[in-house]
A and B are shown apart, each in its own frame.
Chain A
Amino acid sequence: MEARKTYVRVAQETDENGLITPTSLVFQGRKMEIDRVLERRQAHATKTGGQGMRYTVRIGRHETYLFQDDAQRWFVEEMGHVREVPHRDGG
Chain B
Amino acid sequence: MRVILHSDCNSFYASVETAEDPRLKDRPVAVCGDPKLRHGIILAKSAQAKKCGVVTGEAIWQARQKCPGLVLVPADQRKYLLYSRKMRAIYRRYTHRVEPFGLDESWLDVSGHVLSGEEIAAQIRNSAFEELGITVSIGVSFNKVFAKLGSDLRKPDATTVITPENYRDKVWPLKVDELLYAGRATRRRLAELGVYTIGELARAPEELLRGALGKNGLMLQRFARGEDDSPVLCAEEADEIKSIGNSTTTPRDLKDEEEAKAVLYLLSDSVAARLRAHHFACATVSVWMRDSELNSLGRQCRLPVASDTGTDIAQAALGLLRRHYPWELPLRSLGVCGSDLQSTQARVQLPLWVPPRQRRERELEGALDGIRARWGHNAVRRGLMLCDRATADLNPVDDHALQPLGAMRGRG
Contact present for A90 and B74 (CB under 8 Å): yes
Q: List chain A positions with a Cβ less than 8 A from chain B.
A: 2, 41-51, 70, 83, 85, 87-91
Q: Does B22 contact A (CB under 8 A)?
A: yes
Min Cβ gap A85→B in Å is: 5
- How many angstroms between the C-alpha atoms of A70 and B132 in the bound complex? 12
Min Cβ gap A82→B in Å is: 11
Contact present for A44 and B21 (CB under 8 Å): no
Q: Does B149 contact A (CB under 8 A)?
A: no
- How many angstroms between the C-alpha atoms of A61 and B81 in the bound complex? 39
Q: A85-B23, A90-B30 are known contacts; what are 19 more A-B pairs with Cβ within 8 Å?
A: A41-B131, A42-B86, A43-B131, A44-B129, A44-B131, A45-B133, A49-B18, A51-B19, A51-B131, A51-B132, A85-B24, A85-B71, A88-B71, A88-B73, A89-B72, A90-B35, A90-B40, A91-B60, A91-B72
A-B contact pairs, 26 of them (CB 8 A): A41-B131, A42-B86, A43-B131, A44-B129, A44-B130, A44-B132, A44-B133, A49-B18, A49-B21, A50-B19, A51-B86, A51-B131, A70-B82, A83-B23, A85-B24, A85-B27, A85-B71, A87-B71, A88-B72, A89-B72, A90-B35, A90-B40, A90-B72, A90-B73, A91-B61, A91-B72
- How many angstroms between the C-alpha atoms of A46 and B18 in the bound complex? 10
| Residues of chain A within 8 A of B23, CB atoms compared | 2, 49, 83, 85
Contact present for A49 and B32 (CB under 8 Å): no
Could you mark each residue 55-71 of chain B with 1 if its beta carbon is under 8 Å from any beta carbon of chain A, else 0?
00000110000000001
Could you mark each residue 126-143 of chain B with 1 if its beta carbon is under 8 Å from any beta carbon of chain A, else 0?
000111110000000000
| Residues of chain B within 8 A of A41, CB atoms compared | 131
| Residues of chain A within 8 A of B32, CB atoms compared | 90
Contact present for A47 and B40 (CB under 8 Å): no
Min Cβ gap A48→B in Å is: 7
Interface residues on B, range: 20 to 34
Q: Does B388 contact A (CB under 8 A)?
A: no
- How many angstroms between the C-alpha atoms of A45 and B35 in the bound complex? 32
Contact present for B72 and A46 (CB under 8 Å): no
Q: List chain B positions with a Cβ less than 8 A from chain A.
A: 18-24, 27, 30, 32, 35, 40, 60-61, 71-74, 82, 86, 129-133
Residue of A nearest to B128 (CB): A44
| Residues of chain B within 8 A of A46, CB atoms compared | 22, 133
- How many angstroms between the C-alpha atoms of A89 and B19 in the bound complex? 19
Given contact pairs A44-B129, A91-B60, A49 touches B20 in the complex (Cβ within 8 A): yes
- How many angstroms between the C-alpha atoms of A88 and B23 in the bound complex? 12
- How many angstroms between the C-alpha atoms of A67 and B25 in the bound complex? 21
Min Cβ gap B59→A in Å is: 10
| Residues of chain B within 8 A of A91, CB atoms compared | 35, 40, 60-61, 72
Residue of B nearest to A48 (CB): B22
- How many angstroms between the C-alpha atoms of A47 and B27 in the bound complex? 16
| Residues of chain A within 8 A of B74, CB atoms compared | 90
| Residues of chain B within 8 A of A85, CB atoms compared | 23-24, 27, 71
- How many angstroms between the C-alpha atoms of A88 and B71 in the bound complex? 6
| Residues of chain A within 8 A of B86, CB atoms compared | 42, 51
Contact present for A42 and B71 (CB under 8 Å): no
Min Cβ gap A91→B in Å is: 5
- How many angstroms between the C-alpha atoms of A48 and B24 in the bound complex? 11
- How many angstroms between the C-alpha atoms of A44 and B22 in the bound complex? 11
Min Cβ gap A80→B in Å is: 15
| Residues of chain B within 8 A of A43, CB atoms compared | 130-131
Residue of B nearest to A44 (CB): B133
- How many angstroms between the C-alpha atoms of A63 and B166 in the bound complex? 49
| Residues of chain B within 8 A of A51, CB atoms compared | 19, 86, 131-133
Min Cβ gap A72→B in Å is: 14
- How many angstroms between the C-alpha atoms of A41 and B126 in the bound complex? 14
- How many angstroms between the C-alpha atoms of A47 and B40 in the bound complex? 31
Contact present for B133 and A49 (CB under 8 Å): yes
Residue of B nearest to A53 (CB): B131
| Residues of chain A within 8 A of B131, CB atoms compared | 41-44, 51
Residue of A nearest to B69 (CB): A87
10 A-B pairs closest in CB distance: A44-B133, A90-B72, A90-B32, A42-B131, A49-B20, A49-B21, A85-B23, A49-B22, A51-B132, A91-B35
Residue of B nearest to A43 (CB): B131
- How many angstroms between the C-alpha atoms of A66 and B95 in the bound complex? 31
- How many angstroms between the C-alpha atoms of A83 and B24 in the bound complex? 12
| Residues of chain B within 8 A of A70, CB atoms compared | 82
Q: Which of B30, B40, B72, B129 has the most CB of A within 10 A?
A: B72
**Which listed residue, A2, A49, A83, A88, touches B19 by the CB 8 Å rule?**
A49
